[in-house]
């Protein structure tokens, strides 16, 4: 007596749709897990209570904090990622991602403790992902925080081949009575600016538009050595965002720092007023610091006014600290000893009810 043939399940049908045929190869993606553990290991801190691979990361406040307040933030790299894709270079954007988050944490006086990333691409490119993750780990090393975990997403059709989406989330901690909130800023305080490394990760929609037009007109080349920049335009634009964690925390520890502003998207106008209390005005002299050549190049090629430059870009100042004038010289000396280029770029003055919160000097006005 013959046996009836068993029915073939849909899962055994080689022609049936699978996740891999839809563009997500789980076996391939699993190879990245071991690489993650190796790359993130040097960033770990003693406060970390979990290991890579869990559903969420566990950490505690450092023991030295008596009344800890946690400070959280999230940010991304923006359209600088488009430039990275065009150049096929992702070694610095991970640093950018960390920097944009931790630089926001330290304006409250918070020490960054942990960082998590979200990396998405069309199909997991192991080398591209490793390159990006190494940059994130390097950013965490510079900031002194642990790369606690993250998410790597394969999203067929959502991103073009060779492109990625990259965002980050971080948590810092500060003693409750040491939070920097700007409330003590007053007439007569000095405004100090810490030099940026370039455009950081802001304004690249405008930068890329100008560069594209400049290349088309034969005015710019991306990869060739540019005498004006002493490097290539590509290298100058891809320079990673400066991470200010260690010098700023050093100042907060030893000096009276009344307010801190991260000069990020929106330039001076979009960021410095955010830390000023009512009744005061920041007066900034744009001639008080040297503007990096790449800003001058982009401004000239694009025909951008000084006012627009200061409204969109950091123009060479990535972080601002507001301090009592009697401490200015000592703070500038300390920053120099920490290898930071810093300048006295303005003062805080009393503001009338109908006056603006931010005023620029003659150079900016002349560009209108």
173: closest CA among 262, 60, 264? Answer: 60
Long-range contacts for 8-11 (Cβ within 8 Å, ≥24 apart)?
none
Fold of 190-366: Phosphoribosyl-aminoimidazole Synthetase; Chain A, domain 2 (3.90.650)
pLDDT of residue 30: 66
Name the token pair of 56.
């969420």
Extents of the domains making up the chain: 26-178, 190-366
pLDDT of residue 2: 43
Specify which residues 114 forms β-bridges with.
146, 171
pLDDT of residue 124: 87
* pTM of the entire predicted model: 0.90
Q: Count how many Cα atoms sit within 13 Å of the Cα of residue 260 in the half-sphere of its side chain.
A: 24
Task: Find all residues with CB under 8 Å of 353, minimum gap 6, and list them.
Answer: none
The 10 Å Cβ neighbour count of residue 346 is: 26
Digit-coded pLDDT (tens) for 308-317? 999 999 999 9
CATH class name, domain 26-178: alpha beta
3-state secondary structure of 118: strand
Residues of the chain scoring pLDDT < 50: 1-9, 363-368
360: closest CA among 275, 253, 267? Answer: 267
Task: Find all residues with CB under 8 Å of 318, minimum gap 6, and list them.
Answer: 103, 194, 195, 196, 197, 200, 241, 242, 244, 262, 263
154: closest CA among 136, 135, 128? Answer: 128
The 10 Å Cβ neighbour count of residue 219 is: 13
């Amino acid at each position: 007596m013959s046996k009836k043939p068993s029915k073939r399940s849909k899962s055994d049908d080689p022609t049936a749709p699978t996740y891999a045929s839809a563009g997500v190869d789980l076996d391939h993606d699993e190879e990245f897990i071991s690489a993650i553990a190796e790359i993130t290991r040097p960033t770990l801190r003693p406060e970390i209570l979990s290991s890579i691979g869990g559903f969420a990361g566990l950490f505690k406040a450092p023991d030295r904090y008596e009344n800890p307040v946690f400070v959280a933030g999230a940010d991304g790299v923006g359209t600088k990622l488009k430039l990275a894709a065009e150049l096929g270079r992702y070694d610095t954007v991970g640093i950018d991602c960390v920097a944009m988050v931790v630089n926001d944490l330290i304006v409250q006086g918070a020490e960054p403790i942990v960082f998590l990333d979200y990396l998405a691409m069309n199909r997991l490119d192991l080398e591209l992902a490793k390159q990006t993750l190494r940059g994130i780990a390097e950013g965490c090393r510079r900031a002194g925080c642990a790369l606690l975990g993250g998410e790597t997403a394969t999203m067929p059709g959502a991103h073009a081949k060779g492109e990625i989406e990259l965002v980050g989330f971080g948590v810092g901690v500060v003693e409750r009575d040491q939070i920097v909130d700007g409330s003590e800023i007053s007439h007569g305080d000095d405004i100090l600016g810490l030099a940026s490394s370039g455009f950081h990760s802001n304004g690249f929609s405008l930068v890329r538009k100008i560069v594209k037009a400049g290349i088309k007109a034969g005015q710019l080349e991306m990869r060739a050595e540019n005498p004006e920049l002493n490097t290539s335009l590509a290298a100058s634009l891809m320079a990673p965002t400066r991470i200010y964690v260690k010098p700023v925390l050093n100042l907060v520890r030893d000096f009276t720092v009344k307010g801190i502003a991260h000069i990020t998207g929106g330039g001076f106008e979009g960021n410095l007023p955010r830390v000023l209390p009512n009744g005061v005005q920041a007066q900034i002299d744009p001639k008080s610091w040297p503007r990096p050549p790449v800003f001058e190049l982009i401004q000239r090629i694009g025909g951008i006014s000084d006012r627009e430059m200061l409204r969109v870009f950091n123009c060479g100042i990535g972080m601002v600290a507001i301090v009592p004038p009697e401490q200015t010289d000592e703070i500038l000396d300390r920053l120099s000893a920490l290898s930071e280029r810093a300048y006295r770029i303005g003062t805080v003055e009393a503001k009338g009810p109908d006056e603006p919160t931010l005023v620029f000097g003659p150079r900016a006005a002349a560009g209108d």
